[in-house]
Copies of this chain bind each other. A is one copy, B any other.
Amino acid sequence: MNSQRFAVTDLMTRFIRQIPEGDDRERLMCPDCGHVAYENPKVVVGSVVAEGDHILLCRRAIQPRAGFWTIPAGYMELGETAEEGAAREAWEEARVRIALDGVLAVYSIARIGQVQVIFRARFAEPGFAPGPESLEVARFHWSEIPWEELAFPSVHWALKAWRDSAHGALPAAALNPQEDRRGVHRLPVAS
């Protein structure tokens, strides 16, 4: 992950914020030609990589939260699928080749304009090592996860979502936990 989230809009110093015709919210617009520069949330793709009851974590070499532990994750790139992005990040950060089971969680971090798509994954090949953005990479038994040294709340959430299925069938994707949920009321599902 990096912190370049709003880089493009920083450039738009001559742009103005106004509501385009037919729209209902302010956009960055060119005052000369009326061109609208849409700003959109960014997608983070990542994975909980497990072998038995051991989970792969990376200790971050970069800010934010350098020195803290995270799952392999980062910004999705143009031209790749979410699955490819998660596998690329696992390679870049942990030099591990992974196989994906499916979607473990979809988290929204609205405050920073981020959607995280987290996969459940396993080792496709043995071996791992720190990539350039990691100080170290290690497998932790579930009982030894360094909960106090995790980099982000969503790493907590993803690990707990992993524990709920672990080696069984993958359930419906987890969403933000109750304490960080807002907005849309959900009815109980008829079964």
* Segment 63-105 of A: residues with Cβ below 8 Å from B: 75-84, 86-87, 98-103
| A134 on interface, CB distance cutoff 8 Å | no
Say whether A38 contacts B7, CB under 8 Å. yes
Q: Which chain B residue shows the least CB distance to A101?
A: B189
Q: Which chain B residue shows the least CB distance to A84?
A: B183
Say whether A172 contacts B103, CB under 8 Å. yes
How many protomers of this protein does the assembly include?
Answer: 2
Say whether A38 contacts B191, CB under 8 Å. no
Chain B proximity mask over A36-57: 1 for CB below 8 Å, otherwise 0: 1111111100000000000000
A contact patch SS: loop
With contacts A83-B184, A84-B182, A169-B172 known, what are 7 further pairs, Cβ within 8 A? A11-B35, A38-B75, A40-B43, A84-B183, A99-B185, A172-B172, A172-B173
Q: Which residues of A contact B (CB under 8 A)?
A: 4, 7-8, 10-11, 22, 25, 30, 35-43, 75-84, 86-87, 98-103, 106, 108, 110, 113, 115, 117, 122, 124, 132, 167-173, 175-176, 182-187, 189-191
